[in-house]
Chains A and B, each alone.
Chain A
Amino acid sequence: MNKKAFNLKDFLINYGVIMIIIILVAFTGIKSPNFLSHSNLMNLLLNMSARLVIALGIAGCVITAGCDLSAGRIIGMGGCLAGILLQKADYSGRFIQGGKPMNVILAALVVMCVCACFGAVTGSFIAFLSVPPFISTLAMMEIVYGLNLIVTNATPLGGYVTAYTNLASGRFLMIPYLVWIAILIACISWFIFNMTRHGKYMYAIGANPQAAEVAGVPVKLTMVMIYAKAAAFYGLAGFMLGAKSGGASVNLGLGYEMEAIAACTIGGVSVTGGRGKVSSAIIGVAVFEFLKAALQFLGVNANAQWIALGIIIYIAISLDIRKYVAKK
């Protein structure tokens, strides 16, 4: 049999979801040309940027056959913490009266570090006490939410310094700064996944944790680092979302963890572990955002859009699983 012969079934299994989205985007573009306008595309990219950072964080957890339910709440914490650090000095509703706003980059780093500490705790429970990721991250989700409520007193934050909000409105080479941040994170993730020990260890743990340990992989340390890194990314995403909306509340990022896990799996990060690339996360997030936007432009009932998202997840995962089931 000629292996290179075009096989429609394999093609559909490999690219089915992408084909659906391309057809949908083309169709929407024809029906309402505004969909593919520069401003709308930029808006889409802006929406994708924070989502991509979240998805790249969660991808590490999913590649090790885990998950992270605390992502959404850590995004909320990151957003609020960034807000607290970056309010204008003369803003009347200032969280810390009389304080000065921090340097924006420094604030982003502080947010990432604080969130990483929480992620390290989650990861430690998973690695050292064998708490399943689903439960460990669930517990952290509740704890972070509670802390965030206590600290902010459930009051929304606003009055940010322009240097911060500029990240969303300002552009470099026609592209918003937030998108550049996402690109930078994607590059860093690619580097970590492919060029460092940590990345190789991550894939090995996902493929077979026992075999990885026997091969001398520091499994526990790697797991802690994966969850800490993921939480740092969520914190950054919270920081980005705050810049985009010019404010933050405790409910920022609510439910984003599910969307991010869904996006990863749509893009080809296998929930059974060991498989998944940076490009998988990018494709997954793009599919998700384009689908949402296209349905909106087509005037589909906003409530019905949720059903469409669910159906896409079903199709994507059923097809993805086919790749591995068939091989047995």
Chain B
Amino acid sequence: MAEFFLELKGVSKSFPGVKALDNVSLSVRPGTVHALMGENGAGKSTLMKCLFGIYKMDAGEVYINGEKVTINNPDEAMKMGIAMVHQELQPVLPRSVAENMYLGRFPTHNYGPLKVIDHKKMYEDTAYWLKQVGMDFDPKAPLSDLSIGQMQSIEIAKAVSHEAKVIIFDEPTSSLSDKEVEVLFRIMNDLRDKGVAMIYISHKMDEIKRISDDITIMRDGTYVGTWPAAEMTTDQIIARMVGRELTNVYPPHPCTPGDVILETKNVCSIHEKSFQDCSFHIRKGEIVGFGGLVGAQRTELMEAIFGMRGIASGEVYVNGKQVDTKTPRKAMNAGIGLITEDRRGNGILGCLSIKDNTGISIYDKHLKAAIVLDHPTINKIVDDSIKKLSIKTPNAQEHIANLSGGNQQKVIIARWLANDPDVLIMDEPTRGIDVGAKHEIYEIMVELQKQGKAIIMISSEMAELLGMSDRIYVMCNGHIRGEITDPADMTQEKVMHYATMF
């Protein structure tokens, strides 16, 4: 047997406008757990998707047990003994454990052209494989009866039933309880003893140190290096994850903070696993960044403050007065605006025009005789913002769906500028946007700051977070773990330090 069961050599992958992977290598020994680490957007998931045949790599080679192979789709990957336990499970909840395990490959009795599902074999096989991973669920139980962690063990059992020699775990513990993590690690240790190679993607340092044998670190789509896990300290790992040159492409934003405009006290989610005890404040004329890893519950916190999610306890104050923000409309009336992360899902009104998309938040303010919309004024506001934000469109009647991502984002910004909130929350304001439009959005933010608006920016892009924020809160695992006020302290290391305080 070759020293490395799985080898990836010189993998590159580009998406329009972005080089996601640049000459990345990864070598995994059999019977080991190989941790793959890196910041948000370092290219870990992209690399795994290339390996699994979901993406086609532009360049690079894959060797399995010393033999060169090509993998064109997940089906081929599974046939070659590679399995993936996804971060987001996609189970068919109302159906049984066994059906979920054998979905798409049900064992059948064949009577000529007629194929009848062999339930007996399916249930027996399911029980057998579940036993292999030390689980004994009833194969007939509906999947919805199980917890997320238990569903994950079903996924693992499924991988094992494929007799996978390589199993990829993409942030498997992000939604597991401590007890479930223990179970997962026990299964992983068993698999290791059986000689299975595992690739483990996670941000949790203590878990990495506990379970992994080797660590490969990636940064900005490039390969940084591979080290034995036992020889690395947490600080060393962080230093290698973030060690990049920051180029200064951000507009200057001198900050002269005024009075506190928004303040929260001990805000807790109605969900145990979401944000808890979050207290923060923002002053007029300030850009406050919220840093953290994906899954730190920053979006959930902001959406809750804007009335899109439930708050179990805690208070929100605007201008020193406690306000009710149970619905987005109430939050809007309290002077808060939110530009959501999921532009397509809850940002744009796809089949409506730019005018309707912009005007939607200001109809209350522009009425004649209490009910008739003041179309001339609204048209003027819309036309002005198209010009001011240089939205590229023939006219205001154009459907927003026909615009590019950057221009759609500008329309959403125009919507909130028209509404003129005191506090504007921008959740990943430059995600999926080309460099030029990004810079324009930064300038809009600075312009708003000069007008004395308060801006909260959630950003998973380290450079943007450090480049645009006057002050930074860092969240991890639903809690605000740190506040960085001194510009001298605004370093990648500091942010990562707080962001991995699980």
Contacts and interface: CB of A to CB of B under 8 A. Distances in A.
Interface string A204-232: 10011011111111100000000000000
Most buried by A among B329, B359, B371, B401: B329
Given A207-B352, A208-B346, A211-B348, A217 B360 contact: yes
Interface in B105-128: none
B489 interface: no
B372 A208 contact: no
Interface stretch (A100-108, A192-200, A288-296): A192-200
Contact of A215 (B328, B333, B350): B328
Q: For A208, A213, A216, which residue has the most chain B Cβ atoms within 10 angstroms?
A: A216
B132 to A, nearest CB: 42
Taking each of A204, A207, A324, A327, which has the highest tally of chain B beta carbons within 10 Å of its own beta carbon?
A: A207
B338 interface: yes
A214 B373 contact: no
> In the complex, which of the residues B328, B345, B347 has the most CB atoms of chain A within 10 Å of its own CB atom?
B328
A128 to B, nearest CB: 12
Nearest to B303: A214
Interface residues of A, number: 24
A200 B371 contact: no
A239 interface: no
A274 B352 contact: yes
A204 B352 contact: yes
A275 interface: yes
A203 interface: yes
A324 B350 CA distance: 11
Contacts of A203: 349, 352, 356
A200 B347 contact: no
B361 interface: yes
Nearest to A192: B371
Given A197-B363, A200-B360, A204-B356, A216 B350 contact: no
Contacts of B415: 215
Interface string A15-33: 0000000000000000000
B346 A200 contact: no
Interface in B361-396: 361, 363-364, 367, 371-373, 375
Contacts of A211: 345-349
A274 B415 CA distance: 19
B6 to A, nearest CB: 38
Given A200-B363, A215-B328, A207 B372 contact: no
Which of A195, A211, A212, A217 has the most chain B CB atoms closer than 10 A to its own CB?
A: A211
A197 B370 CA distance: 10
B340 interface: yes
Given A197-B373, A200-B360, A213 B328 contact: yes
Contacts of B347: 211, 214
Nearest to B306: A214
B469 interface: no
A200 B329 contact: no
A191 to B, nearest CB: 8
B332 A210 contact: no
A203 B351 CA distance: 9
A210 B329 contact: no
A65 to B, nearest CB: 11
Contacts of A270: 351
A200 B345 contact: no
| Overall SS of chain A's interface | helix
Interface string B418-430: 0100000000000
A215 B360 contact: yes
Nearest to B364: A197
B350 A207 contact: yes
Given A204-B352, A211-B347, A274-B351, A196 B372 contact: yes
A48 to B, nearest CB: 28
Interface in A254-274: 270, 273-274
A204 B360 contact: yes
A201 B373 CA distance: 12
A195 B375 CA distance: 8
Interface size class of B (residues with CB under 8 A): 20 to 34
B308 interface: yes
A275 B306 contact: no
A200 B359 contact: yes
Contacts of A204: 349, 352, 356, 360
Contact of A214 (B328, B352, B375): B328
A211 B357 CA distance: 10
Contacts of B351: 207, 270, 273-275, 324
Nearest to A205: B349
B342 to A, nearest CB: 9
A197 B415 CA distance: 15
B328 A216 contact: yes
A217 B330 CA distance: 10
Contacts of A324: 351
A35 to B, nearest CB: 38
A89 to B, nearest CB: 39
Interface in B382-417: 401, 415
Nearest to B337: A216
A183 B342 CA distance: 43
B340 A214 contact: yes
Contact of A212 (B306, B349, B359): B349
Nearest to A203: B352
B329 A217 contact: yes
A197 B349 contact: no
Contacts of A218: 327, 329
Contacts of A210: 345-346
B59 to A, nearest CB: 31
A195 B372 contact: yes
Given A197-B367, A216-B329, A216-B419, A208 B350 contact: yes
Nearest to A217: B360
Nearest to A273: B351
A200 B375 CA distance: 12
Nearest to A218: B329
21 contacts: A195-B375, A196-B373, A197-B363, A197-B373, A200-B356, A200-B373, A201-B360, A204-B352, A207-B352, A208-B349, A211-B345, A211-B346, A211-B348, A212-B360, A214-B306, A214-B338, A214-B340, A215-B361, A215-B415, A274-B349, A324-B351
Closest 10 CB pairs of A and B: A216-B332, A207-B349, A210-B346, A274-B351, A197-B363, A215-B360, A216-B329, A211-B346, A207-B352, A214-B346
Interface of B: 306, 308, 327-329, 332-333, 338, 340, 345-352, 356, 359-361, 363-364, 367, 371-373, 375, 401, 415, 419
Interface of A: 195-197, 200-201, 203-204, 207-208, 210-218, 270, 273-275, 324, 327
Given A203-B352, A216-B329, A274-B350, 14 more contacts: A195-B372, A197-B364, A200-B360, A201-B363, A204-B349, A212-B349, A212-B360, A213-B308, A213-B328, A214-B308, A216-B328, A216-B419, A217-B329, A270-B351
